[in-house]
Structure 1
Amino acid sequence: MSILVVGSVAFDSVQTPFGRVEEVLGGSGTYFSTSASFFADINLVAVVGEDFPQRHLDFLRARNVNLEGVKVVPGETFRWKGEYGYDLNEAKTLDTRLNVFENFKPILPESYRDADFVFLGNIDPELQSQVLDQVRHPELVVCDTMNFWISGRREALLKTLTRVDILMINEAEARQLAEEANLVKAAQSILSMGPKTVVIKRGEYGALMFSEHTIFAAPAYPLETVFDPTGAGDTFAGGFMGYLAANRNFGDGSIRQAIIFGSVMASFVVENFSLDRLRDLEYRDIEERFRRFKLLTEFEGL
């Protein structure tokens, strides 16, 4: 039982009101893989440059992430630089250098093509479709996207969404994609585009899940210390999909629990910069925070 993930592996330079880091490990594929690896084995497809340190590859391998699909090519690794103010829900991008990621063409190793679970990270929707062309019979396909693709590659994105079971998207992107201000109406519109379920990430305000007959709302876990929200959405996705893959149950109740596990993982990663909080995390910590999370919303019925 493993998850195929296609996404970026990058160096991030981040400044928040609580500190600053330079050239630390980042990227959507990295955050997702590290988070999901607490629940399942991971097959990662990505590209890095010759400047990518061996210690980062060793870290991923130690997390049971299969790197057969990670290609090292001449050039420099993708780099992103950004900063946050006290509103940690929104990052200001200062610099983006795609470098080797600009010409990334995901080619799946033969051993990856029978994947049961596929996560399509935030890449060009045409590349996302090309990945699905290479997978034989996936049980569950989860997709992420962003405003850049919604505005610039809308038709390609709409074609990809017809092949997706679950779409993960933030509030602003949901409104943009649906061209609808009301989130409930936006979700209903997105469901008509193909996905069976839409999960709307709301940062410090939690997450909403919509399916044909169900709406589920979950808060974010209240934290005293938040250092860096970079990668929180991909970490959420990793916990969410990791739980579903581990249980092989995609019913409404399981998806609700997966949202809580995703929120738990996101609550850990923001407590330090980069992936540093996840490096010393143990599964019993995840279970304990899940129990505390459950208590947040328990109440007696009428």
Structure 2
Amino acid sequence: MGLLVVGSLGLDTVATPFDKVEDALGGSATYISLASSYFSGPVYLVGIVGEDFPKRYIKLLEDHHVDLEGLQVVEGGKTFRWSGKYHYDLNVRDTLFTELNVFENFDPVIPDKCRKAHFVCLGNIDPVLQGKVLDQMENPQFVVCDTMNYWIEGKKDDLMKVLPRVNVLIINDSEARLLAHEPNLIKAARKIREMGPEILIIKKGEHGALLFMEDVIFSAPAYPMEMIYDPTGAGDSFAGGFIGYLYKSQDLSPASMKRAVIYGSALASFCVEKFSTKALEDLSYLRVQDRYREFLTLSRFDEYD
């Protein structure tokens, strides 16, 4: 029945020690949709942009078989804009400005043909909006949700209403500690899963990711990168690769979840190789498969000599 992605679309101005881009394509829904498009089609995107959103970005999404019937284009409105500056330690970032513009009044409306989607990915948006999306779905079988410190601190009550309605929560290590009020990630994961989601993924940036499911703990490596140009969107690309693979396989077993985490890590590793969405624009499924196999060699070892 298709894969539904709901989140933000924006124009990003990003500076790193190596270069700078202005009004580049960004937003959680953008990265998730592009990453997942290498596994499934069509991807149904629901979001909002202003009249100033470049037509070339619309064409880019459509060329990747992203269905834009659910994209609201506000006449005379301005698209969400964000600007950030990364330090030499690319884990450290300063937000220079955030202009919500039309996104401030975003009220997601799910097209009729998308309400039957069995796989749903809720990008990092207000948990109230995430709940509204789920209210409109008829029978979602697998829901992946992303959130961040801002919502954990500012709208925790609303977030706590969403968590029991999702299958997977994807957050980073600092967010996990904040949400659980627990410094140890193993203990934090146990507490978070008691809040609702039976599956938890904790992203640890250059240190990989942890999957918690049933009695399984799986530690996935990060791909060793000689050069990282732009970390923006890496987490969303991870989510897109993760749910995209699961939609393609239609297998929700623990073994499949482990593979999905590796595919998510593979898409994230491609994302950071160039600015904005550039590295996700001209991939092929074969290149994704090759990167997946490289991940296998990173952690494969013999039982004994």
- TM-score band by shorter chain is over 0.9
Question: Aligned partner of 2:65: which letter?
Answer: N
Residues in 1 aligned to 2:233 and 2:17: alpha-carbon distance in whole angstroms? 17
State the percentage of identical aligned residues. 54
| Superposed displacement of residue 212, structure 1 | 2.8
Match in the other structure for 1:60: 61
Distance, in Å, in 2 between the alignment partners of 1:3 and 1:93 is 31
Give TM-score scaled by structure 2 length: 0.98
Contact 1:5 1:121 in 2 (8 A): yes
Structure 2 residue aligned with 1:262: 264
2:94 alignment counterpart: 92
In the comparison of the two structures, how many residue pairs are matched? 302
**Structure 1 moving runs of 4+ over 6 Å:** none
- The 5 Å alignment of 1:276-287 reads 276-287=278-289
Aligned counterpart, 1:50: 51
Partner Cα distance (1:63, 1:166) in 2: 25
8 Å contact from structure 1 (residues 191, 212) kept in 2: no
Shift of 1:281: 1.2
- For residue 125 of structure 1, the aligned residue among 124, 127, 138 is 127
Cα distance in 1 between the residues matched to 2:293 and 2:37: 20
The question of 1:231 aligning with 2:236 is answered no
Q: Aligned partners of 1:224, 1:286: CA distance in 2, in Å? A: 18
Secondary structure, counterpart of 1:150 in structure 2: helix
Does residue 252 in structure 1 map to residue 254 in structure 2? Answer: yes
Aligned-partner Cα distance in 2 for 1:166–1:108: 21
Q: CA deviation at 1:18?
A: 1.4
Instruction: Return the alpha-carbon distance in structure 2 between the equivalents of residues 103 and 215 of structure 1.
Output: 40
Shift of 1:225: 1.8
RMSD: 0.8
The one-letter amino acid of 1:34's match is L
Map residues 15-30 of structure 1 onto 2, 5 A cutoff.
Answer: 15-30=15-30
**Offset at residue 216 of structure 1 (A):** 0.4
Gaps (5+ residues) in structure 1? none
Distance 2:13 2:107 in 1: 25
Residue deviations 1:14-64, cap 9 Å, x none? 011111111100000000000000001210000000101111001000000
Partner AA of 1:13 in structure 2: T
**Helix, strand or coil at the partner of 1:162:** helix
1:198 aligns with 2:200: yes
- What displacement does 1:147 show? 0.5
Quote the residue 2:166 is aligned against: 164
Aligned partners of 2:212, 2:298: CA distance in 1, in Å? Answer: 21
SS at match of 1:132: helix
1:253-287 Cα deviation digits (max 9, x unpaired):
00000000000001001000011112221111111
> What residue in structure 1 maps to residue 33 of structure 2?
33
Residue 251 of structure 1 deviates from its aligned partner by 0.7
- Look up the equivalent residue of 1:129 and give its one-letter code: G
Q: Which amino acid aligns with 2:104?
A: E
Distance 1:37 1:95 in 2: 30
The answer as to whether partners of 2:2 and 2:114 remain within 8 angstroms in 1 is no
**Counterpart-to-counterpart distance in 2, 1:249 and 1:269:** 25
SS at match of 2:165: coil
CA contact (8 A) 2:147 2:170 kept: yes
Deviation at 1:116, TM superposition (A): 0.6
Residue 92 of structure 1 deviates from its aligned partner by 1.5
Instruction: Return the letter of the residue paired with 1:56.
Output: Y
- Measure, in 2, the Cα distance between the counterparts of 1:188 and 1:243: 25
* Deviation, structure 1 residue 204: 1.0
- CA distance in 1 between counterparts of 2:21 and 2:281 reads 17
- Residue 154 of structure 1 deviates from its aligned partner by 0.3
Contact 2:44-2:114 at 8 Å conserved across structures? yes
Per-residue deviation, 1:91: 2.1
Cα shift at 1:89: 2.1
